[in-house]
């Protein structure tokens, strides 16, 4: 398929070309928007990076970002992140305040529940999908968002299914009640 022919691995050389920084420890910002990337494992070396712009690529996991402990902003919309459980890799990034994740397969389903689930699992966020996280929203998220199981703890890689159909189920129940 054409998809396989565009598998692109992000390399140190590509990072140097884009940032003009030769030492991976000193890279603070990296913009790889629309570079057809699928393999970003080299990001494990960017321990001091603060801003990653990775939107419009073919990235399918967030695991490689777990070591970026200084990361503050992650732009990763329009990729192939398959499941909402992938956000568990971002839980331990204490400075992450801005995440743009929409337009990934993992963001499918009930938009309200998706947002509450992301905020519940990454409570340090101040902005999600370009919308500020309000303090009252945080309380809501803690109550209604799904507490995801980390893939490392044997969490299913099909937890996005838990974001599906919640609202439809509620609507069906209401309809049945009206018919009775």
3-state secondary structure of 162: helix
Token pair, residue 96, equals 């992450």
Query: What is the rounded CA–CA span in Å between residue 134 and residue 169?
Result: 27
| Strand extents, DSSP E, the chain | 8-9, 29-31, 37-39, 51-53, 73-75, 98-100, 127-128, 131-132
The distance of Cα 131 from the centroid of its chain, to the nearest Å, equals 15
Q: Are 22 and 43 in contact (CB under 8 A)?
A: no
pLDDT digits (tens, 9 = 90+) for 32-74: 999 999 999 999 999 999 999 999 999 999 999 999 999 999 9
Residue 151: which pLDDT band, with cuts at 50, 70 and 90? confident
Token pair, residue 84, equals 């909402």
Look at residue 7 in the predicted model and tell me its pLDDT.
82
């Amino acid at each position: 398929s054409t998809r396989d022919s565009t598998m692109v691995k992000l390399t140190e050389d590509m990072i140097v070309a884009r940032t003009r920084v030769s030492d991976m420890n000193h890279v603070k910002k990296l913009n790889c928007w629309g570079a057809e990337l699928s393999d970003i494992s080299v990001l494990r070396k960017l321990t001091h990076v603060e801003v990653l712009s990775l939107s419009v690529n073919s990235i399918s996991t967030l695991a490689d970002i777990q070591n970026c402990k200084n990361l503050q902003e992650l732009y990763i919309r329009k990729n192939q992140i398959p499941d909402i459980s992938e956000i568990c890799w971002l839980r331990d990034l204490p400075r992450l305040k801005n995440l743009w994740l929409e337009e990934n397969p993992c963001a499918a389903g009930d938009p309200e529940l998706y947002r509450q689930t992301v905020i519940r699992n990454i409570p340090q966020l101040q902005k999600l999908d370009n919308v500020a996280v309000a303090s009252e929203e945080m309380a809501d998220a803690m109550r209604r968002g799904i507490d995801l199981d980390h893939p490392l703890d044997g969490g299913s890689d099909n937890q996005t299914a838990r974001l599906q159909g919640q609202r439809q189920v509620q609507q069906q129940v209401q309809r049945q009640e009206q018919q009775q």
